[in-house]
Amino acid sequence: MINSSLKQLGHLLASKQISSVELTQSYLQRMAQHNPGINAYITIDEEKSLAQAKAADVSIAAGNAQALTGIPIAQKDIFCAKGWRTTCGSKMLETFISPYDAHVISQFDAVGAVNLGKTNMDEFAMGSSNETSYFGGVKNPWDVDRVPGGSSGGSAAAVAARLCAAATGTDTGGSIRQPASLCGFTGLKPTYGLVSRYGMIAFASSLDQAGPMAKSAEDCALMMNVMAGFDERDSTSLNRPVEDYTRGLAAMTGDQPLKGLRIGLPKEYFAEGLNADVAKVIETAIAEYKKLGADIVEVSLPNNNLSIPVYYVLAPAEASSNLSRFDGVRYGHRAAEYNDLLEMYMKSRAEGFGAEVKRRILIGTYVLSAGYYDAYYLKAQQIRRLIAQDFVEAFKYCDVIMGPAAPSTAFKVGEKTSDPVAMYLEDLYTIAVNLAGLPGMSIPAGFAQSSEGKPLPVGLQIIGNYFDEARMLDIGHAYQQVTDWHQQMPAGLE
Amino acid sequence: MQWEVVIGLETHTQLKTNTKIFSGASTTYGAAPNTQACEVSIALPGVLPVLNKQAVECAIKFGLAIDAEIAQRSVFSRKNYFYPDLPKGYQISQFELPVVGKGKITIQVPAGKSTEAYEKVIHITRAHLEEDAGKSVHDAVDGMSGIDLNRAGTPLLEIVTEPDMRSAAEAVAYAKKLHELVQWIGICDGNMQEGSFRCDVNVSVRPKGTEKLGTRREIKNLNSFKFMQQAIEYETQWQIETLEDGGTIQQATVLFNPDTGETRAMRSKEEANDYRYFPDPDLLPLAVTEEDKSRVRAEMPELPQALQARFVGEYQLSAYDASTLTASKAVADYFVETVQAGADAKQSANWVMGAVSAKLNAEEKTIADSPVTATQLAALLKRIGDNTISNNAAKQVFEGMWAGEGTVDAIIEAKGLKQVSDTGAIEAIIKEVLTANQAMVDEYKSGKEKAFNALVGQCMKASKGKANPAQVNELLKNMLG
């Protein structure tokens, strides 16, 4: 059952072969057993989860079940959930109980899904390894000496270790796709504006986007049906007709379901910086797509090498302002002793934030300062447009872009913590997608062997044009019909 | 040396919207602390701003009223600084691209001790939308400071002038005119005690005849015209004396103390913050289309300038009367209603500016609270017009109406004020008066014109004020031969 798809779980619930309470309890038991070793969850609240499961069972009995009714979903601890502690991975919010629901949370509530718990994450989503969390790092279920990626590392480990049916994540520079690659599951970052950011604690507002993290493309499509949609409380939310993201999945069968699909391979994604083992897996996956009927074309994203420097100007700039509200005045951490207002601010923030958060606040404050704004912030905004233009150009020659989601497989805990720039390079293939506001997805494409001989997952990234999520999910689904990488589980967790 | 003062104003007008500029929380004044602070006002983690369309309409109205350029695209930026009453750690404001651009306002500067009244055009640099901060409360909890976020997020339109004003009188005339205008177009309640209309005044001095502006000091948060006048006069004098004593002016923010009548520096510019403005990524640029402007224009009342022209043209009022009657929309509306109810325009103007205004001032009431409505005033004026009562009697009737003693006719009846216009009856009264005052008659006949007026007075008195004075005059003249 732990390997069942969301659709299968839905059938089991609808046909009363299992109740939501039983399903939720079985996950809670797995969490009690495995979470201490993996640290995927920051907050587990059995009582709350089971109360939701009970309510879901009532709905199902009354014949009101929807696709995800009664299914336990793990929520990244970046989403405010009423009555739940919502920490964003930070000491600053260690005791913060949200009095309101994020849009994403209320969407899952509305369909009767069960909130299984709040998952661990890099502090304020700043990190690529989950090691910046105040609540301790998350272990990669494939090799507990390695990181799960980040920032949505808790959700990633929970999905990989089957400690939830599916999970939510957020992706500012790769925080869904890179952990999806490192932990071997399917993760989608939608087009900017498709999922409301209301109640999602802001890191970099112009880049942040929530998305599903699940075993398969089909599961992600069902999650998208719940998460996407216009919300007037987010001014950047797009008012578009409601879509059924599962609509094309059934057609992905037969001999060559992707006949005529043009896949663009950016030469910059296969250049220096890409691990050879990862490259091999990606090439094999591309070969599989050829068999499914796709044509391969080479494209170029000439400004991709600028995406990391641009990102590390813009994201910290926005973050430095977004994180100003954590001042110890109204909620969150306040220093125990201080002599005046200034000291209260300084001590509260010095104690409440971790090193990576402080580093980015410093960078962001610097690039927005008088005398530096034009050279850094304004220049970065201009280059951001060039990077987006690269994709416009590339999509003239292809329908989707494919490549690696991360340059390497999961690295060792502590391996990159002392070298921020090496850590930042983890997002070499994902950041440009956020800067352009495009949708991007990572699907399991195989394994590379670690030096200790353990299998480590490799993700294939699929980048679509704006609002092409349904098509990307079809493309992922077609691959998952002929491969079983997405059904592989880490050893010892059966 | 002759000095010239140069003044520019920045005015924060609180917009009359039901809800805050970026959230649905109420803006009603005076509620218990933090009861009008929703999750956006408190800046909980994860909340987002959504622009209030009503606030945008207010800005467009103002732009149209001052004949300004209204930006097709304007941008909200974040002004970053830490303060306990600023919950997000930044204020959302408009920086590089404001919604309202250059415009102008014509002011009437009243006559002073040695100057005549005159008109002047004040140029508006810009007006932009922004949110207000909350309030720090320092005395509610012993030994601690409290924060009240009810006001946080209240919509403001900050209106900035060019340094066009050359005296405290001009600055006050501008502030008053702006105060009237924002109320006239219905975007601000104008309540200065509650902080709905607050002025920051930039003052500098320079030798008369020179071009270069002196260093300015900014007087913050003036919320009465009287204080504004005092503050500018004090500040001007202080700057002149400082310079004449060989000192220099440091750019600074100053506060006016109404108790001492002095201004005092709050902080100097060297300590000024770097606000790190950047476009707010949570808000899209504000787009204002021609259709938006037309729609708002259609909802706007006739502006004071247009109404003045109409009063002069249509009602043959003097420019002065027209200007006085358009000092506020309520007064103008009252006047128009009186005329439309059938009263003579010139007479209506005199009464509105005279008796009505005096009574309102004496009782510190606004015209909206006048116990005598425009329709009632028109009824009274008609009774003067048809010779039912004299002007003098009308004043008594007006007092009665003000006191709520009944309708015009009922009061005339009750007080017996009906004018006597019957020739026979008046002649009878005159005869009695002439008989009783032979001495005056003799004086008049010996050439003393004054005696005539005394006799008229006696006749009016004998008629208990009811005789038609014009008739008394005419008949008396005839009868004295």
Could you write out the three-class secondary structure of A234-291?
Answer: CCCCCCCCCCCCCCCHHHCCCCCCCCCCEEEEEHHHHCCCCCHHHHHHHHHHHHHHHH
pLDDT over 80 at B271, yes or no: no
Grade residue A222 by pLDDT with cuts at 50, 70 and 90: very high
- Residue B204, token pair as written in the block: 């500098």
> Looking at this protein, which amino acid is placed at residue B371?
P
Interface contact flag, B46 A232, Cβ < 8 Å: no
pLDDT tens per residue across span A67-110: 999 999 999 999 999 999 999 999 999 999 999 999 999 999 99
Residues of chain B with CATH 1.10.10.410: 423-480
Interface contact flag, B43 A325, Cβ < 8 Å: yes
Distance CA A18, CA A32 (A): 21
Distance CA A375, CA A461 (A): 33
pLDDT tens per residue across span B79-99: 999 999 999 999 999 999 999
Of chain A, the percentage scoring pLDDT greater than 70 comes to: 100
Helix B423-436 crosses helix B438-445 at what angle (to 10 degrees)? 90
Q: What's the pLDDT score for residue A110?
A: 98
pLDDT over 80 at B390, yes or no: yes
pLDDT over 90 at B347, yes or no: yes
Q: What number is the average pLDDT over the span A420-439?
A: 94
Listed range (A263-277, A468-482, B311-325) with the worst mean pLDDT: B311-325
Whether the CB-CB separation of B384 and B347 falls below 8 Å is answered with yes
> Looking at this protein, which amino acid is placed at residue A453?
G
C-alpha distances out from residue B214 to A312, A451, B203, B204, B246, Å: 43, 74, 9, 5, 14
Q: What number is the average pLDDT over the span B378-395?
A: 89
Residue among B39, B78, B283 whose CB faces A321 most closely: B78
pTM of the model: 0.90
State the residue for tokens 């003693």: B405
Distance CA A453, CA B103 (A): 75
Architecture of domain A6-260+468-487: Alpha-Beta Complex (3.90)
- Residue B198, token pair as written in the block: 């607050």
pLDDT over 80 at A127, yes or no: yes
Distance CA A455, CA A447 (A): 6
Interface contact flag, A330 B46, Cβ < 8 Å: no
pLDDT tens per residue across span A279-335: 999 999 999 999 999 999 999 999 999 999 999 999 999 999 999 999 999 999 999
B270 in reach of chain A (CB within 8 A) = no
Q: Which chain B residue lies closest to A81 (C-alpha atoms)?
A: B46
CB hemisphere CA count around B396 (13 angstroms): 18
pLDDT over 80 at B421, yes or no: no
C-alpha distances out from residue B254 to B11, B84, B193, B211, B237, Å: 16, 21, 20, 25, 15
Q: What number is the average pLDDT over the span B101-124?
A: 92
* CA geometry: angle A11, A15, A21, nearest 5 deg: 85
Q: What number is the average pLDDT over the span B4-8?
A: 98
Closest CA to A57 of A24, A32, A83, A84: A24
Find all residues with CB under 8 Å of B440, minimum gap 6, and list them. Answer: B451, B454, B455, B458
Find all residues with CB under 8 Å of A36, minimum gap 6, and list them. Answer: none
pLDDT over 80 at B269, yes or no: no
Q: How many CB atoms lie within 10 A of CB B249?
A: 16
pLDDT over 70 at A378, yes or no: yes
Q: Which long-range contacts (CB under 8 A, 24 or more apart) does A247-252 make?
A: A247/A470, A248/A470, A248/A471, A248/A473, A248/A474, A249/A217, A249/A218, A249/A221, A249/A473, A249/A474, A249/A477, A251/A474, A252/A474, A252/A477, A252/A478, A252/A481
Of chain A, the percentage scoring pLDDT greater than 90 comes to: 96
Q: What's the pLDDT score for residue B423?
A: 83
Q: What's the pLDDT score for residue B267?
A: 66
Q: What number is the average pLDDT over the span A221-235?
A: 98
- Residue B264, token pair as written in the block: 């005092």
Residue among B87, B281, B282 whose CB faces A330 most closely: B87
Catalytic residue among A151, A152, A155, A320: A151
**Bridge partners for B144 per DSSP:** B141
CB hemisphere CA count around A337 (13 angstroms): 0
Listed range (A51-60, A295-304, B430-439) with the worst mean pLDDT: B430-439
Distance CA A299, CA A302 (A): 9
Q: What's the pLDDT score for residue B478?
A: 87
Torsion angle defined by CA atoms of residues A403, A409, A415 and A420, in that order, rounded to the nearest 10 degrees: 20
Q: What's the pLDDT score for residue B268?
A: 59
In angstroms, the separation between the Cα of residue B82 and the nearest Cα of chain A is 7
pLDDT tens per residue across span B128-150: 999 999 999 988 888 888 999 99
Q: What's the pLDDT score for residue B272?
A: 62
Q: Which 3-state string (H, E, C) describes B311-355?
A: HHHHHCCCHHHHHHHCCCHHHHHHHHHHHHCCCCHHHHHHHHHHH
Q: What's the pLDDT score for residue B110?
A: 87
User: Which among B83, B276, B284 is the top mutation candidate for probing chain A, defined by the most A β-carbons within 10 Å of its own β-carbon?
Assistant: B276
Domain B423-480's class?
mainly alpha
The ipTM assigned to this model is 0.96
Collapsed DSSP state (helix, strand, coil) of residue B279? strand
DSSP code for B392: H
Whether the CB-CB separation of A65 and A48 falls below 8 Å is answered with no
Whole-number mean pLDDT of chain B?
92
pLDDT, greater one: B137 or A226:
A226
pLDDT tens per residue across span B142-191: 888 899 999 999 999 999 999 999 999 999 999 999 999 999 999 999 99
Q: How many CB atoms lie within 10 A of CB A484?
A: 9
Q: What number is the average pLDDT over the span A38-60?
A: 98
- Residue B194, token pair as written in the block: 């509650």
Name chain A contacts of B47, Cβ cutoff 8 Å: 198-199
pLDDT over 90 at A365, yes or no: yes
Q: Which residues of A199-213 are buried (b: 16+ CB within 10 A; e: fewer)?
A: bbbbbbbbbbbbbbb
DSSP code for A324: G
Distance CA A66, CA A108 (A): 11
pLDDT over 60 at B270, yes or no: no
- Residue B94, token pair as written in the block: 């408009």
- Residue B292, token pair as written in the block: 């938006």
Distance CA B77, CA A293 (A): 49
Q: What's the pLDDT score for residue B143?
A: 82
Torsion angle defined by CA atoms of residues B338, B341, B342 and B346, in that order, rounded to the nearest 10 degrees: 10
- E strands within A152-214? 166-170, 186-189, 210-214
Of chain B, the percentage scoring pLDDT greater than 90 comes to: 72
Of chain B, the percentage scoring pLDDT greater than 70 comes to: 99
Would residue A151 show up in a list of annotated catalytic residues for this protein? yes
Q: What's the pLDDT score for residue B461?
A: 86
Q: Residue B49: phi, psi to the nearest 5?
A: -85, 145
Before B145, cis peptide (omega within 30)? Answer: no
DSSP code for A229: S
Whether the CB-CB separation of A162 and A493 falls below 8 Å is answered with yes
Interface contact flag, A327 B284, Cβ < 8 Å: no
DSSP code for A211: E
Q: Which chain B residue lies closest to A233 (C-alpha atoms)?
A: B50
Q: Which chain A residue lies closest to B88 (C-alpha atoms)?
A: A325
Grade residue B47 by pLDDT with cuts at 50, 70 and 90: very high
Listed range (A417-421, B116-120, B269-273) with the worst mean pLDDT: B269-273
Torsion angle defined by CA atoms of residues B267, B270, B276 and B277, in that order, rounded to the nearest 10 degrees: 70
Q: What's the pLDDT score for residue B386?
A: 87
Q: Which chain A residue lies closest to B79 (C-alpha atoms)?
A: A321
B88 in reach of chain A (CB within 8 A) = yes
pLDDT over 90 at A179, yes or no: yes
- The H-or-E segment that residue A435 falls in is helix A431-436
Whole-number mean pLDDT of chain A?
97
Interface residues of chain A, partner chain B, Cβ below 8 Å: 79-80, 86, 88, 93, 96, 98-100, 102, 197-202, 204-206, 232-236, 317-318, 320-321, 323-327, 329-331, 341, 345, 365, 368-370, 373, 377
Would residue A418 show up in a list of annotated catalytic residues for this protein? no
pLDDT over 90 at B210, yes or no: yes
Distance CA B234, CA B232 (A): 5
Whether the CB-CB separation of A233 and A198 falls below 8 Å is answered with yes
Q: Based on C-alpha coordinates, what's the Rg of chain A?
A: 21
pLDDT tens per residue across span A137-178: 999 999 999 999 999 999 999 999 999 999 999 999 999 999
C-alpha distances out from residue B97 to A126, A235, B27, B124, Å: 32, 19, 26, 15
pLDDT, greater one: B282 or B462:
B282
Q: Is residue A366 exposed (0-12), middle (13-18) or buried (19+ Cβ within 10 Å)?
A: middle
Query: Which of A213-217, B392-396, B403-407 has the largest mean confidence?
Result: A213-217
- Residue B59, token pair as written in the block: 């800005």
- Residue B58, token pair as written in the block: 């207010």
